[in-house]
Amino acid sequence: MSDLSYESVSSGFGEAVREQFSVEQFHYLPETDSTNDDLLNRIRSKKARHLDLVVTDLQHQGRGRRGDRWEAPAGRNLLFSLALKLEEPKAIWCRLPHLAAFVLGKAVESVLTMSGKIQAKWPNDLLFDEKKLAGILVETILVPEPYAVVGIGLNVNVRATEFPEELRAIATSIYELEECESSRSFLLSEIVSGFVRCYPNMLTNFDEVREWLHSRSVLSGREIEVVTAMGMVRGIGAGLGEDGELIVNQGDQGNKSILSAERVLFR
């Protein structure tokens, strides 16, 4: 039996969160192809509302930002999507992936007892000791109403031996860091509570989010290669801009700001 239920997740809510996130907004599926697709379909059919959540134990066709597959053994990890109703101004919607990383990272850090910080790899991954711990995929939909769907895959209780062999050197989990199992329902409670507290106000008041990401950026001061739709950009990671864009120092060519990328490599 899954440990993911509204009762287990909501037990950690404060009253303000409980008022905004009811049992009708919680949708648990034992397995599914993609929680993002499930939630996007609910929005298209006008069945969804702000803070609707779809969570599963097993995802068959989860995808990353470039369409990469996200796979995990059943019941080990936290795989979910959250609907956020988009509000004006549109110019700050590009900050949402960074806010998601901030909320997710703060929740994970709340359960870690070991020394060290979560690392942020712009634009959509969280790492620890340069190994991938979580991925974030934000997709937007404008019809019938503007919504963002925040898809998150967090490695919680997966063992190193359960990763595909080619990923064992570059991925990790909370279990591997803490050497014990963690409560997925508690983590989900912390994440939902974080979104209730931080969205949408911290899209406007963005300084704390940007500073959190900047202080944990795995790219700052590193040689990086950024694959964009316009080609390859090479240089030294030089922090984040006002909207969370990646700043790349290209030496004599000066700094270049990148809002979106297909892939980021670092050395």
Domains of the chain, by residue range, sit at 6-215, 219-266
- Taking only Cα atoms into account, the Rg of the chain, rounded to an integer number of angstroms, comes to 18
pLDDT of residue 108: 97
Structure tokens at 259: 């809002």
How far CA 89 is from CA of 98, 200, 226, 263, in Å, comes to: 17, 11, 28, 28
* CA pair distance 79, 70, nearest whole angstrom: 9
pLDDT, tens only, 109-146: 999 998 888 999 998 999 999 999 999 999 999 999 99
Q: How confident is the model at residue 254, as a pLDDT?
A: 95
Region 143-161 average pLDDT? 96
Strand 53-59 to strand 26-32: parallel, antiparallel, or no bridges (unpaired)? parallel
Q: Read off the pTM.
A: 0.94
Query: Is the pLDDT at 191 greater than 90, yes or no?
Result: yes
Q: What are the tens digits of pLDDT across the range 20-50? A: 999 999 999 999 999 999 999 999 999 999 9
Percent of the chain past pLDDT 90, that is, above it, reads 87
Out of 3.30.930.10, 3.40.50.10600, 3.40.50.720, 3.50.50.60, the CATH code matching 6-215 is 3.30.930.10
Phi, psi of 35 (to 5 degrees): -65, -35
Summarize the confidence of residues 159-184 as an average pLDDT: 94
Q: Between residues 126 and 66, which one has the greater pLDDT?
A: 126
How far are the Cα atoms of 108, 142, 172, 247 from residue 126, in angstroms, in the given order? 10, 28, 10, 18
Give the pLDDT confidence score for residue 44 in this predicted structure: 97
The fold of 219-266 is: SH3 type barrels. (2.30.30)
| The predicted structure's pLDDT at residue 60 | 87
DSSP 24-52: GGEEEEEEES-HHHHHHHHHHTT---TT-
pLDDT of residue 69: 57
pLDDT, averaged across the chain: 93
Q: What is the pLDDT of residue 70?
A: 47
